[in-house]
Amino acid sequence: MISIYTILLYIHILSAVLSIGPLFVVLTIVKKMRTASHVEMSPYIEAFKGAITIVKHSGHVLVVSGILLMWHAGYHWSTSWIVLTFLVMFASIVFLARAFKPTLQTFNTPAYDQQKFASLLHRKAWMYILLLLIMLWLMVAKPVLW
């Protein structure tokens, strides 16, 4: 029989995949944005927003399943890798809230510059991926730093 812990772990891993995987699709979309005509940009922007929505909602499941796993496994809140994971997670939440929306809102405004637009989205996507990879490392390696 499958245990509750195993089910929670599966949900946690699946939500981790869904919270980072679409970002690699986003990188492909951004590459196409660099050379797209103005008419082609709207569908790319909508696809980009959709991918970010999947990332965001998967992150909610990731946090809840992570807390439940932590509780079920008996980890203490002051464990170094847990504290650091929550700090990086908080940074990633703030980053996600501020990273893409201001850039996306410049489309069809006088401030819009297609190359700058695509470059900013590309750079911010990689920055977010890096934050998520740091969290992934903390959750997998579980380093004891104090």
pLDDT in tens, 25-83: 999 999 999 999 999 999 999 999 999 999 999 999 999 999 999 999 999 999 999 99
Band of residue 1 on the pLDDT scale cut at 50, 70, 90: confident
8: Cβ contacts below 8 Å, ≥ 6 apart: 65, 68, 69, 72
Q: What share of the chain is helix, strand, coil (3-state, %, to 5)?
A: 80, 0, 20
Alpha-carbon span 105 to 103, nearest angstrom: 5
pTM given for the model: 0.88
Nearest to 15 by CA among 107, 139, 145: 139
Model confidence at 21, in pLDDT bands (50, 70, 90)?
very high
Place of tokens 């959709």: 50
pLDDT number for residue 30 = 97
Closest CA to 103 of 88, 133, 123: 123
Q: What is the DSSP letter of 76?
A: -
The first and second tokens of residue 65, run together, are: 């399943």
pLDDT for the residue numbered 11:
97
Looking at residue 118, its pLDDT comes to 97
Output the pLDDT for position 107.
95
pLDDT in tens, 97-146: 888 999 999 999 999 999 999 999 999 999 999 999 999 999 999 999 88
